[in-house]
Amino acid sequence: MRIITLVIIHCSATPQGVRLSFDDCRREHIRRGFSDIGYHFYITRNGEIHRGRPLEKIGAHCQNHNRHSIGICYEGGLDIRGTPADTRTPAQRASLVALLRELKRIFPKILVVGHHDLNPMKECPCFNAVAEYGELPKLK
């Protein structure tokens, strides 16, 4: 198993009212030259958690940080005008907390960050992941 130190949260940069299914995201990544979807998990607006790359495989989601991280992407991240915004649904929020708790159980020392924290040129995930998920044991 890889040594995992980070969980990096992403958004799909999909406007509200526009659907980007797991399969569509996977197809888009393959079209861009990846061997598969770059994320390990993808959470659709209804809260469904889709498995992407196996955890044993290095992701393709955050340059210079893929080797030691797990990538999670939620569908959304843009408001109806296409402006970066936290568009997570209640179902997505609940699924993300449950997934992070499970990953913390498996990898007790992981840190949770947003893509923006590692690449300030990105708005993704359009909310402060460190503030929200930095203290995983305290998540409710």
Whole-model pTM: value is 0.94
Question: Given 11, 29, 39, 126, which residue is catalytic?
Answer: 39
Q: Is 68 annotated as catalytic?
A: no
Taking only the tens place, the pLDDT of each residue in 61-119 is 999 999 999 999 999 999 999 999 999 999 999 999 999 999 999 999 999 999 999 99
Q: Is 57 annotated as catalytic?
A: no
Question: Given 62, 115, 116, 126, which residue is catalytic?
Answer: 115
DSSP3 helix / strand / coil % (the chain, rounded to 5): 30, 20, 55
Find out whether 44 and 96 touch, Cβ atoms under 8 Å: no
137 vs 102, higher pLDDT:
102
- The share of the chain scoring above pLDDT 90, in percent, equals 92
Q: Is 10 annotated as catalytic?
A: yes
Domains (ranges, CATH) in the chain? Answer: 6-138 (3.40.80.10)
Q: Is 39 annotated as catalytic?
A: yes
Question: Given 25, 124, 126, 133, which residue is catalytic?
Answer: 124
Q: Is 65 annotated as catalytic?
A: no
Take residue 6 and report the two structure tokens written for it: 């980070």
Which pLDDT does position 138 carry in this prediction? 52
Which pLDDT does position 136 carry in this prediction? 67
